[in-house]
Amino acid sequence: MIGLNTLSPAKGAKHRRKIVGRGVGTGHGRTSTRGSKGQNSRSGDGKMSYFEGGQTPIVRRMPKRGFSNAMFRSQYEIVNLTSIESKFNAGDEITIAKLKEAGLVKKGKLVKVLANGDLKKNFTVKASAFSKTAQEKIAKAGGKAEIIK
């Protein structure tokens, strides 16, 4: 009878781990499959990915250009209307702190509300940003969307 306790890999599917540096008789002794001498045979032989063997690397040959805004980018946590409707009651005032308590956001610094799903309850939602359709759906349901800084 076949059961989880009787399952095993097919013959030849699993390979034996290569054991190196345990004597000449193993076939992987002496130089331990590293070749003989030189930079790559030494321990800690890791070179940087851009290392070019003494030639001035392309990283240093190319001029530095442009500007990256990644450090100053605003990263919003996203909350959809469906999750707001399922977690809160009609007439509630929803702030970032309440979204954090409900487990809808983790850090809760900047929160953007998106319009995924339909809204039947009216809420006053205070968030950092709203999508245009989310604002329209909140207003259509009789609520208010307030942007906070």
Over residues 124-138, the mean pLDDT reads 95
pLDDT of residue 1: 82
What confidence tens digit (pLDDT) does each residue in 7-39 have? Answer: 999 999 999 899 999 999 999 999 999 999 988
Please state, in angstroms and rounded to a whole number, the distance separating the CA atoms of residues 132 and 129: 10
pLDDT of residue 149: 82
142 or 39: whose pLDDT is higher? 142
What confidence tens digit (pLDDT) does each residue in 52-108 have? Answer: 888 999 989 999 999 999 999 889 999 999 999 999 999 999 999 999 999 999 987
Q: What phi and psi values does residue 144 have, to the nearest 5 degrees?
A: -130, 140
Q: What number does CATH give the domain 73-147?
A: 3.100.10.10
Q: Contacts for 139-143 with beta carbons within 8 Å, 24 or more apart?
A: 143/119
Q: For the chain, which residues make up each domain, given as ranges?
A: 17-65, 73-147
Confidence of residue 48 (pLDDT cuts 50, 70, 90): confident
121's CB contacts (< 8 A; 6+ apart) are 85, 88, 89, 90, 91, 141, 143
Beta bridge partners of 77: 111
Beta bridge partners of 127: 147
